[in-house]
Amino acid sequence: MADSSSLVQELVDAGVHFGHRASLWNPKMAPYIYARKNLIHIIDVRETVRGLLRAKKYLRQVAESGGLILFVGTKRQASETISREAARCGMPFVSERWLGGALTNFRTIRSRLSRLEELEAIRDGEQINSYSKKMQSALNREYRKMFRNLNGIRTMSRLPECLIIVDPKKEKNAISEAQKLGVATVALIDTDCDPDVVDLPIPGNDDSMRSIELIVKMLSDAIVAGKSQAAVQSQYASEGAEVAVGA
């Protein structure tokens, strides 16, 4: 990202400034709304930039300190971007369906991951042939469902420090669990959302694929940068230790 004006242009080109119909707005979003045009609220892109920069700084710090960041976006327009960008920066994700208790009942979710691994072992080995055709079909069905819901969090060995959310209204269950556990939230929020339920809101269009892609990619870039910085610091530390031992 170059200067602020080119960032604003990039956001506008992606349609980040288009909100919902004015009749659907949440009055708490008033500080983030620039105008109303053709019955649609226009989001103040300067506020988007502010929220984005704050979120990027925070996420970079979390990644630099080795923290886990969980990406959440199950709506059709967000699903593919969420899984792709989370994978790019090596973080867990939920892109299909939020499983109740994914955070608040984390141990149970971890045990279900064991079942997923068990099913994979059955399917990949010779054992699958010992079952009837009907049972094979049932096992394959169970596997597909579990894989779809759990694959993105199979590397999540502990609770995350932060959630990145597309549309907190849609992901209200994830927000609720995060609040109960004191897990920080960064979210792309449209004009129909309640900004008070999010720690670091980024006002913007949460229905357009281009808008979601741009924002989530920028957040992912910040995580990649934080991880890179951590790797550099770790290398310096190990080289310093070797020098000290050599002396």
Find all residues with CB under 8 Å of 94, minimum gap 6, and list them: 70, 71, 72, 73, 74, 82, 102, 152, 153, 174
Confidence (pLDDT) at 129: 86
Least confident of 30-34, 77-81, 123-127, 146-150: 123-127
- Domain boundary (158, 179, 199) is at 158
Task: Identify the domain containing residue 44 by its residue range.
Answer: 4-99+159-246
Same domain as 65, residue 137: no
Same domain as 148, residue 180: no
Same domain as 111, residue 69: no
pLDDT in tens, 105-145: 998 888 888 889 999 998 888 888 888 999 989 999 999 99
**pLDDT band for position 232 (cuts 50, 70, 90):** confident
Q: What is the pTM of this model?
A: 0.90
- Which letter does DSSP use for residue 132 in this model? -
**Measured between alpha carbons, how far is 137 from 222 in angstroms, rounded to an integer?**
43
**pLDDT band for position 161 (cuts 50, 70, 90):** very high
Greatest mean pLDDT among 8-12, 153-157, 161-165 = 161-165
Confidence (pLDDT) at 1: 42
**Measured between alpha carbons, how far is 32 from 23 in angstroms, rounded to an integer?**
16
- Average pLDDT, rounded, for the chain: 92
